[in-house]
Amino acid sequence: MFYNILAPLASEWTLFNVFRYISFRSLAALITALVISILIGPRFIAWLRRLKCGQYIHEDVVAHAAKAGTPTMGGLLMLASLGISLLLWADLTNPYIWQTMCVFVGFGAVGLWDDLAKLRHHQNRGISGKAKLAGQILVAFIAVWFLALNPDYSSRLTIPFFKEWSPDLGWLYIPFGIFVMVAASNAVNLTDGLDGLAIGPSIVACAVFSIFIYITGNARFAGYLLVPYISGVGEVTVFCAALVGAGLGFLWFNAYPAQVFMGDVGSLSIGGTLGYLALLCKQELVLAVVGGLFVAETLSVILQVGYFRWTGGKRIFRMAPLHHHFELKGVPESKIIIRFWITSILLGLVALSVLKLR
């Protein structure tokens, strides 16, 4: 028996029995979060302006000087629309819903801490890297620990394209899960450098994982497609749909030229949640495919820093992350964004092919 704010309607009127279906509630959650974001967005942005929550631009990114002062911390808008939508449409008795929401809020809290530090210091440098990483690891550890305590959850690792090969990581699954969540969180954060660049691929990744989550929570579909079945996980499909809707609503205002930036409160929470969704549906390695754009952005930074130190000052890219390299080559910002979105959609389709190619 599910329960949310609208659940009594299903018990009193037969017409509202449709509320019991995950598919219907997921679609309703998406629309609700999207509409709420668009309706409250203008007032929310105006509120950020009154609080003087303007973005400070890094001195190395000269091309973005005109964006200085654009309101940041737009991730709070997504949190508000997501939360309201879940109260209306998600089964509030399902522990996976609360765990996933806690991951979103937990990583968002670390991001908010960093955003507030930037505003306080009046520069694009927030809390120290060690402090940020410690906060992320703490949130990820708690999330993975709760999964490990669940008797229905397995420490086996699903290998894409293989039916039988599923190595059991045992206790090593906990540090592995922490790495997945923290890496995903930082990867989305690094990608968040152009208007709408990070939220577009995030929406695609969340939509893909909503399909994986739904199948994982459906015994018949999971058995047919040879993916692990986990009872109750399917309800998180409603969360994924609500996050897609919240992301689309945020994109309404974040599209080029952006009226608001998501800030670390948005990028860290979305990335950490994507990592957690991958763990929930036992598609940890598929995350590297559907989030291939985030991986490329992260690798560009790692390679740039490593090569710079190894050669004593030489660079592979004109600037890292990768989107700044194309920007300095003269590619218009809007074209970079659209091409990265197209790439993320293609990667999402490739990730979905894993369901049959095994």
Query: For 63-87, how does the pLDDT look when each residue is reduced to its tens digit (9 = 90+)?
Result: 565 677 789 899 999 999 999 999 9
**Which pLDDT score, from 0 to 100, does residue 142 have?**
97
CA 234 to CA 301: how far, in whole Å? 36
**Which pLDDT score, from 0 to 100, does residue 198 have?**
95
Which residue intervals of the chain are DSSP H helices?
A: 7-12, 22-50, 75-89, 95-121, 129-149, 173-191, 199-216, 219-225, 236-254, 263-280, 287-290, 292-311, 322-328, 333-352
Compute the C-alpha angle 110/115/119, nearest 5°: 150
Residues 6+ away with beta carbon under 8 Å from 131: none
**Which pLDDT score, from 0 to 100, does residue 90 have?**
93
- Segment 211-223 shows an average pLDDT of 93
pLDDT at 161 exceeding the cut of 70 = yes
Q: Per residue in 176-211, pLDDT tens?
A: 999 999 999 999 999 998 999 999 999 999 999 999
Q: Per residue in 10-21, pLDDT tens?
A: 555 555 567 778
Over the chain, what is the mean pLDDT?
A: 90
Residues 6+ away with beta carbon under 8 Å from 236: 94, 96, 97, 100, 213, 217, 277, 280
**Which pLDDT score, from 0 to 100, does residue 126 have?**
78
Which of 240, 203, 237 has the alpha carbon at shortest distance from 217?
237
**Which pLDDT score, from 0 to 100, does residue 227 have?**
87
pLDDT at 294 exceeding the cut of 70 = yes
**Which pLDDT score, from 0 to 100, does residue 162 have?**
72
Tokens at 7, concatenated = 């659940």
Give the model's confidence band at 36: pLDDT under 50 very low, under 70 low, under 90 confident, else very high.
very high
**Which pLDDT score, from 0 to 100, does residue 55 have?**
72
Helix (H, G, I), strand (E, B) or coil at 250: helix
CA distances from 336 to 38, 158, 192, 328, 341 (A): 25, 34, 13, 11, 9
Q: Per residue in 219-235, pLDDT tens?
A: 999 988 888 899 999 99
